[in-house]
Structure 1
Amino acid sequence: MNLEILDFIIVIGIVQGVLFSLAILFSKYFKSSTNTYLGISMLIGILTNVQYLAVKYHWYSEFPKFAIFEDIELVLLLPITLLFYYVKFLYPKFKLQNKYKLLFLPFSISVLVNLYVGGHAHFKLYSLEDLYWVPPFYTVEYFFSIVLNIIILVVTYVLLFKKTNTEHPLVNHSLKWIKLFFYFHVAIIITWISLEVVEKAYPNDFNFILWLILNLLFYWVGYIGIFKFRLARNRYEIRKLIDKEVKTETIEVSIKDKKTELTQDKDNEYLQDLVSILENEYIYRDPKLSRNDMANRLGISVGYLSQMINNNSKKSFSDYINYYRVEDVKQMVLNTDFNKYSMLAIGLEAGYNSKSAFYSGFKKETGLTPSEFKKSHQIS
């Protein structure tokens, strides 16, 4: 394959990466402290691609002052921003305290030193005579960058695979995305180190392999991102509709096979409080809702909560919550204001934490998939 074609693929990846990074950083549908680290990391990865193309096509020969850009060791920065992305994804309440900012120190030192040397070498701002320390510094910088990236991979591996799920507030997160992202990260670092070793023994330009893998990451994140962008936008707009209480009486009547209300013991104040919380505060829309949370809210034991629900509805706690979520979905899918939104977005806003949980929960309650239910109630 012609390497010029490969470079064209890299350029397309750069453009897509830039657009998606900007969307992550500035779109109201994506914007979050977690995604900020992802957007910054992608931009840094894109800049490393630009560095590669600049060297290959001798841009610095035409614009020598820009050669200082090549001296910026982004491999000292990228692993840190990626680490913060992983940590923030797993622990949403994580705060970037001053002690964590020390991780940026190696990159900061590298930038200052390279700017200092670059002022002499590229801009001729001053003359430096004693530069004997520069080659050893670059050697240390080189090996340190490799070690740093390996350490970050190990730390991330421990966070993702050695910690139990109960230690992560991940109820409404899927680890599939972050683990696949990590596998790409590992592939990039292994390829980078392998190419460094190969090129020492067989000098040649094999770097295009690394940049292709990096661009595969851009393409993959962009592809997933388009789907997630649409999903995030749908959920944002659905939430606005729900907040405006677009939940009409006519929809209630139109559901012919709607189950009767759950049996309620009017003498049981805890049951009345439970129903009130669910129907007035819509707490079932919280995908993190658990029996412990509800029992604590009511001031009763978990066992009594389960017994109370079963005695009055013949349902378990999870089935009882599922009932309310299904009723929420029914009302939304039969409301024409929600027609333009995906079923998945509607299910997630009703409180489900995944597509599989949504479809299985809905079918368990109704015997139909959400699409089948909607179709069965459409006016012919």
Structure 2
Amino acid sequence: MIESNQLLFFLSALGAFNGFILSLYFAVNAKKKVFANYFLSLLLLVLSVRIIKSVFFYFNPHLSTIFIQIGLSACVLIGPFLFLYLKTYTEGGKQDWLKHVFSHLIGITILGIFYPYGEHREIWSFWIVRVIYFQWFVYIVLSFRYVLPVVQKLKRKENLKKIEVWSLSIYLGVIFIWLAYSTATYTSYIVGALSFTFILYLIVLLLVFRNSSDSTFFEEKQKYKNKELDAEKLNLIGQKLSIIIEKELYLNPDFSLEEAAKELKITKHLLSQYVNEILGKSFSNLIKEYRIEKAKRLLETEKNFTLESLGYDSGFSSKSTFFTAFKKATGLTPAEYQKEYTKAGQIL
């Protein structure tokens, strides 16, 4: 019995310890790559704090109440950091993270000061914890919009990009941990900690595959080897591709490779091969370029517009997505671009 308890403690605590290590890894990695990794780092950090509290409390019911309060309070930030991570990765930018983080952080801090866990165990156990788990669930629901396109691609049996597999794994992992804790009264309190260890190692496995140059885990199923396009086909596809511009099909925010292939009356595989090999870009980047060119024309001819309406009129699904894509492509904000264009026109 003692050996089984030791093994249980080791497995449950291992996830929390490695969660801290991964949190540090992503925090350092964020400086070199993307801002979203900061939110991923903080997500793993608060999850690890919650898990380590569960582990020690399970094996030591007389654990310090302040430690228990910190562990429960950490749950308030799990949902917001999941939401901010997925939103930032999807839309870019730094997002409005202050209102999502500090509002909850200040709220739980004030609550902890006036109603400390040590003096109000029943209130925390029956009311506060339930509210915290409900708030966590609300953010899970809010985050779904950012993995919905991935789910839709799965339904259409399309190949997923590396980042899509990665983000969906993070999202499902957090849901699984939430379920483990929400149903702990019917199972066991240690299930949440064990589930975190299990999920964490799945995520680490994905990370290894993601960073491995030799791995084919995330590779596209369709390969183009020995399927060279002849000159006649190249010319035909090039001509057909102009239909997307002429009909402005790209103005549909949900315009996909599959829809384009149907419109152009060629196979999805052939269109994908042409765009990738001949144009040297992905289909989504090609459509993004069309939308940016449309936005440029609108900026050059229209004077009265809002940034949001300009983005929608160009085919982008949101203002932030439009702003990020435009700035990345031109090096200027839409307002700066219009100003430069107007100035150049006056000189001429």
* TM bracket, shorter-chain basis: 0.5 to 0.7
The equivalent residue for 1:154 is 141
CA contact (8 A) 1:88 1:94 kept: yes
User: What do the CA deviations read for 1:47-103 (whole angstroms, capped 9, x no partner)?
Assistant: 112212332344976xx5xx42321211111111011112223x23254226x6145
- Distance in 2, matches of 1:145 and 1:75, equals 7
User: What do the CA deviations read for 1:271-294 (whole angstroms, capped 9, x no partner)?
Assistant: 9xxxxxxxxxxxxxxxxxxx58x9
Q: Does 1:216 align with 2:198?
A: yes
The equivalent residue for 2:38 is 36
| 1:158–1:352 distance in 2 versus 1, CA, 3 Å | closer
| 1:31–1:4 distance in 2 versus 1, CA, 3 Å | farther
User: What do the CA deviations read for 1:304-360 (whole angstroms, capped 9, x no partner)?
Assistant: xx9xxxxxxxxx7644444448xx9xxxxxxxxxxxxxxxxxxxxx8699xxxxxxx
Give runs of aligned pairs for residues 215-364 of structure 1, distance below 5 A.
215-231=197-213, 318-324=272-278
State the 1:175 CA deviation.
Answer: 3.0
The equivalent residue for 1:369 is none
Which amino acid in structure 1 is aligned with residue 138 of structure 2?
Answer: I
The equivalent residue for 2:164 is 175
| 1:87–1:93 distance in 2 versus 1, CA, 3 Å | same
Residue 25 (structure 2) aligned to one of 19, 23, 26: 23
- Distance in 1, matches of 2:197 and 2:283, equals 33
| 1:113–1:22 distance in 2 versus 1, CA, 3 Å | same
| 1:228–1:25 distance in 2 versus 1, CA, 3 Å | farther
| 1:27–1:102 distance in 2 versus 1, CA, 3 Å | closer
Which amino acid in structure 1 is aligned with residue 129 of structure 2?
Answer: Y
State the 1:117 CA deviation.
Answer: 5.8
State the 1:104 CA deviation.
Answer: 3.9
The equivalent residue for 1:236 is none
User: What do the CA deviations read for 1:206-243 (whole angstroms, capped 9, x no partner)?
Assistant: 211111111111111112112223459xxxxxxxxxxx
- Distance in 1, matches of 2:105 and 2:189, equals 22
Q: Does 1:193 align with 2:192?
A: no
State the 1:165 CA deviation.
Answer: 6.4
| 1:260–1:85 distance in 2 versus 1, CA, 3 Å | closer
CA contact (8 A) 1:54 1:60 kept: no
- Distance in 1, matches of 2:229 and 2:33, equals 41
The equivalent residue for 1:45 is 47
State the 1:160 CA deviation.
Answer: 2.6
- Distance in 1, matches of 2:101 and 2:277, equals 48
TM-score normalised by length of structure 1? 0.50
Q: CA RMSD in A?
A: 4.8
CA contact (8 A) 2:177 2:196 kept: yes
CA contact (8 A) 2:43 2:78 kept: yes
| 1:317–1:111 distance in 2 versus 1, CA, 3 Å | same
Residue 111 (structure 2) aligned to one of 104, 113, 122: 113
TM-score normalised by length of structure 2? 0.54
| 1:94–1:215 distance in 2 versus 1, CA, 3 Å | same
Which amino acid in structure 1 is aligned with residue 192 of structure 2?
Answer: L
CA contact (8 A) 2:35 2:94 kept: no
The equivalent residue for 1:54 is 56
State the 1:173 CA deviation.
Answer: 5.6
- Distance in 2, matches of 1:158 and 1:302, equals 26
| 1:44–1:261 distance in 2 versus 1, CA, 3 Å | same
Which amino acid in structure 2 is aligned with residue 226 of structure 1?
Answer: V
The equivalent residue for 1:337 is none
| 1:150–1:218 distance in 2 versus 1, CA, 3 Å | same
Q: Does 1:13 align with 2:12?
A: no
State the 1:162 CA deviation.
Answer: 7.5
The equivalent residue for 1:86 is 86
State the 1:140 CA deviation.
Answer: 3.8
User: What do the CA deviations read for 1:11-34 (whole angstroms, capped 9, x no partner)?
Assistant: 322333222222222137974212
CA contact (8 A) 1:14 1:215 kept: yes
- Distance in 2, matches of 1:105 and 1:28, equals 24
* 3-state secondary structure, aligned to 1:195: coil
- Distance in 2, matches of 1:162 and 1:193, equals 27
- Distance in 2, matches of 1:160 and 1:322, equals 25
CA contact (8 A) 2:80 2:139 kept: yes
Q: Percent same amino acid at aligned positions? A: 12
- Distance in 2, matches of 1:96 and 1:214, equals 27
Structure 2 residues without counterparts, runs of 5 or longer: 154-158, 215-225, 233-237, 250-259, 261-269, 285-348
Give runs of aligned pairs for residues 90-109 of structure 1, distance below 5 A.
91-97=90-96, 101-102=99-100, 104-109=102-107
In the comparison of the two structures, how many residue pairs are matched?
246
